[in-house]
């Protein structure tokens, strides 16, 4: 069996000194980002795995963090960008690892990554079993060089938003603002139930209508119900086509911008004006929403900021600091023409 590769091999292949290899792997010293990346690529290509337990008991630092994710699309990539920004500002190199399979299989992969002790901390954005998580209450020097593993409630196993990314508080704000503007007839066009974000928006809508019904000032509120159950704008269009002629004036809270676009199309086909007969809100702040007629009131979710906050929590755990306080909501309402001139 051939001997395992050494740091000398990495230095020779990368064309750098052994000291530079050490700096790249530990995060110490002053080398360029390009040199560090080159060394890490060579180390990975030859299968070099330094034994961190044999390193200096004084430091036990690698200067490396890992972010574990599932298959990534636009929203997820924005989370990763935000996490990387914070790690880089703190002087760390970040690696992204894509894992798949059952929660047990993902947990095993994260455990193997932690046991290799190549990283000071691992931030997992997908669910893992609790036993893989580090006791972050221990001070760094008390962990015997173990890799810190922190899980964030960011995405489920199918990379669907969870936690603060699925916070639906803005739906209640929509309903209250439209009530104040005089609207009393409401409809919710929902997304699919398997999405936590869709369930949260539906529940927030129902709770807001229930609150309005118990307030003497808005006790005449009427909900035409919850329709839909998919992300299909065609389903939203058909839902509007199925409403009775007496539905307007109507306020529609749609679970995302695609559904809101379907609502606007269905209303136009009925000869209903927007925002005259029908007002509508969306979610996601899709770029096209600003160019619809009327332009769409929606919710912008700052996925990049969510990534920054997740990485800040990992860094606090790595350093043995108290976790940072939860900031303001990462979602903000963008008021446009589809809800009329009124603003809360």
Tokens (6 digits) for 167: 């916070």
Return the minimum-mean-pLDDT range out of 130-144, 210-224, 287-301: 130-144
Task: Report how many domains make up the chain.
Answer: 2
- pLDDT at position 268: 97
* 184 vs 325: which has the higher pLDDT: 184
- pLDDT at position 2: 63
User: Could you count the other beta carbons within 10 Å of the beta carbon of residue 177?
Assistant: 19
In a domain? residue 51: no
Are residues 282 and 152 both part of a single domain? Answer: no
The pLDDT > 70 percentage for the chain reads 88
Would you state the torsion angle of the CA atoms of residues 26, 31, 33, 36, taken in this order, to the nearest 10 degrees? -50
- pLDDT at position 299: 97
Residues facing residue 226 across a β-bridge? 188
Are residues 263 and 196 both part of a single domain? Answer: yes
Query: HSE of 186 in the Cβ direction (CA atoms, 13 Å)?
Result: 32
Are residues 130 and 253 both part of a single domain? Answer: no
- pLDDT at position 159: 65
* Domain span at 125: 18-42+60-159+305-319
* 210 vs 125: which has the higher pLDDT: 210
The pLDDT > 90 percentage for the chain reads 48
pLDDT tens-digit series, residues 187-221: 999 999 999 999 999 999 999 999 999 999 999 99
CATH number at residue 290: 3.40.50.2300
- pLDDT at position 58: 39
Are residues 32 and 132 both part of a single domain? Answer: yes
Place of tokens 């000032």: 217
In a domain? residue 83: yes
CA distance linking residue 69 with residue 62, whole number of Å: 21
pLDDT band at 160 (very low <50, low <70, confident <90, very high): confident
User: Could you count the other beta carbons within 10 Å of the beta carbon of residue 45?
Assistant: 12
CA distance linking residue 319 with residue 148, whole number of Å: 10
- pLDDT at position 25: 65
Are residues 266 and 219 both part of a single domain? Answer: yes
Sign, CA dihedral 203-204-209-211, equals positive
CA distance linking residue 172 with residue 227, whole number of Å: 18
Q: Could you tell me what percentage of the chain is helix, strand and coil, using 3-state DSSP and rounding each to the nearest 5?
A: 45, 15, 40
Are residues 266 and 197 both part of a single domain? Answer: yes
- pLDDT at position 56: 36
Are residues 73 and 140 both part of a single domain? Answer: yes
Residues facing residue 151 across a β-bridge? 124
Mean pLDDT of all residues in 268-287:
97
Return the minimum-mean-pLDDT range out of 14-18, 111-115, 325-329: 325-329
150 close to 122: Cβ distance less than 8 angstroms? yes
Question: Which residue in 52, 61, 71, 77 sits closest to 28, CA to CA?
Answer: 61
- pLDDT at position 51: 52
Per-residue pLDDT at 296 exceeds 90? yes
Is 222 in a helix, a strand, or coil? Answer: strand
- pLDDT at position 49: 63
Per-residue pLDDT at 138 exceeds 60? no
- pLDDT at position 30: 65
Are residues 265 and 203 both part of a single domain? Answer: yes
User: Could you count the other beta carbons within 10 Å of the beta carbon of residue 173?
Assistant: 17
- pLDDT at position 29: 55
* 116 vs 229: which has the higher pLDDT: 229
Chain centroid offset of residue 274 CA? 32
232, with CB counted inside 10 A (0-12, 13-18, 19+), is middle
In a domain? residue 53: no
In a domain? residue 314: yes
Give me the helix-helix angle, 74-89 and 303-319, nearest 10°. 40
In a domain? residue 64: yes
Mean pLDDT of all residues in 237-265:
97
Work out the mean pLDDT of the chain and round it to a whole number.
86
Measured CA to CA in angstroms, residue 143 lies from 43, 120, 137, 151 at distances of 26, 11, 10, 18
pLDDT band at 152 (very low <50, low <70, confident <90, very high): confident
In a domain? residue 263: yes
Are residues 212 and 136 both part of a single domain? Answer: no
Give the range with max mean pLDDT: 21-35, 142-156, 316-330: 316-330
Per-residue pLDDT at 173 exceeds 90? yes
Give the range with max mean pLDDT: 134-143, 252-261, 300-309: 252-261
Are residues 141 and 173 both part of a single domain? Answer: no
Place of tokens 């704008």: 233
Are residues 92 and 178 both part of a single domain? Answer: no
In a domain? residue 271: yes
pLDDT tens-digit series, residues 21-67: 777 765 555 677 678 778 878 887 888 765 544 443 334 567 889 99
In a domain? residue 8: no
pTM: 0.73
Are residues 80 and 106 both part of a single domain? Answer: yes
């Amino acid at each position: 069996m051939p001997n395992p590769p050494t740091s000398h091999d990495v230095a020779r292949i990368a064309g750098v000194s052994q000291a530079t290899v050490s700096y790249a792997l530990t995060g110490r010293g002053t080398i360029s980002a390009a040199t560090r990346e080159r060394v890490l690529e060579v180390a990975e290509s030859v299968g070099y795995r330094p034994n961190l337990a044999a390193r200096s008991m004084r430091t036990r630092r690698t200067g490396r963090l890992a972010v574990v994710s599932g298959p990534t699309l636009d929203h997820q990539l924005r989370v990763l960008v935000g996490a990387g920004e914070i790690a880089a500002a703190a002087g760390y190199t970040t690696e992204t690892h894509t894992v798949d399979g059952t929660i047990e299989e993902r947990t095993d992969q994260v455990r193997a990554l932690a046991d290799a002790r190549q990283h000071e901390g691992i931030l997992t954005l997908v669910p893992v079993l609790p036993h893989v998580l580090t006791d972050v209450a221990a001070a760094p020097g008390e962990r015997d060089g173990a890799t810190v593993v922190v899980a964030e409630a960011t995405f489920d196993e199918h990379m669907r938003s969870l936690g603060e990314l699925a916070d639906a508080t803005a739906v209640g704000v929509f309903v209250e603002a439209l009530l104040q503007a005089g609207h009393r007839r409401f409809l919710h066009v929902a997304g699919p139930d398997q999405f936590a974000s869709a369930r949260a928006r539906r529940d927030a809508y129902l709770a807001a209508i229930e609150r309005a019904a118990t307030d003497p000032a808005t006790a005449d509120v009427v909900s035409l119900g919850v329709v839909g159950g998919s992300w299909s704008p065609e389903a939203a269009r058909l839902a509007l086509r199925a409403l009775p002629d007496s539905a307007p004036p109507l306020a529609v809270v749609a679970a995302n911008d695609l559904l809101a676009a379907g609502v606007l199309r269905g209303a136009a086909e009925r000869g209903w004006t927007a925002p005259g007969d029908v007002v509508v809100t969306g979610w996601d702040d899709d770029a096209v929403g600003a160019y619809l007629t009327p332009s769409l009131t929606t919710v912008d979710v700052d996925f990049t900021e969510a990534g920054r906050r997740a990485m800040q929590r990992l860094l606090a755990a790595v350093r043995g600091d108290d976790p940072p306080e939860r900031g303001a909501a990462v979602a903000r309402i963008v008021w446009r023409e589809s809800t009329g001139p009124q603003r809360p």
